Structure 1
């Protein structure tokens, strides 16, 4: 019960900090009703509601994951941090494929399926972001772009 309340308080504080950060985002067009601030503000509002729910209605006897699940969550966090740092030098396609394959392997330890998932997700996301949304992504490592 106490752990849910502590978690709820941490989520509320994080959501408020995220909202404050979203307010700092500079908008380039005054006439644009949906600027770059809206998405992080909506995410922080949803997180705030979740945190308040944990504070108001904590679980009487929460179930905590086994040690192996905590290890997998730590590995997933490390993969995502490496992805954030690797996307610049490695390019979108390679870094996304590696990160998606790593997370996929954590979910279901099958090397072939994880590799296919990483490659497929990387290509689909690249097409969506590049051609559907018009974002300028570095597809390949910057060293190859010279």
Structure 2
């Protein structure tokens, strides 16, 4: 129970920092009427509500992972941290393919199917974000093409 309350309090502090950071987002003359800050404020609001819920009603019988599951969580965490650092220099497709493959494999997929899932997600999400939604993503490292 104490772990849930500590985690809830830490998340509230992080959400308040997120709100502070979002409040510094500049508004251009061509923004929509709502502005660019609303989505980060909404995310922080949901995090605060969930955190307050964890503080007021903690899980009395929380089971913490041990052994191999901690290793799996560490691999997933390292992959996502690496993804955050790799997406700018390597573009969207390569890091997304790699991390999606790792996470698909961890969920329990066969390595070959996880690799195919990673390639499909990397390319499919790029098409969704770039072509359909019109976001300015760079697909591959500079000089490689798109």
TM-fit CA distance, 1:134:
1.0
1:109 to partner: Cα distance: 4.5
- Cα distance in 2 between the residues matched to 1:6 and 1:109: 34
TM-fit CA distance, 1:30: 6.9
1:61: which partner in 2?
61
1:71 aligns with 71
Determine if contact 1:104/1:114 at 8 Å carries over to the other structure: yes
1:66 offset after TM fit, Å? 2.4
Of Structure 1 and Structure 2, the greater helix share is in 1
Question: Secondary structure of the residue that 1:135 maps to in structure 2?
Answer: coil
Q: Which residue of 1 aligns with 2:107?
A: 107
TM superposition outliers: structure 1 runs of 4+ over 6 Å:
none
Distance 1:29 1:65 in 2: 49
Match of 2:44 in 1: 44
Describe how 1:59-138 pairs up with structure 2 within 5 A.
59-138=59-138
Q: Which residue is 1:34 aligned to?
A: 34
Q: What TM-score, normalized by structure 2, do the two folds share?
A: 0.90
Q: 1:131 to 1:34 in 2, by over 3 A?
A: farther
Aligned length: 145
| Structure 1 unaligned residues grouped into runs of 5+ | none
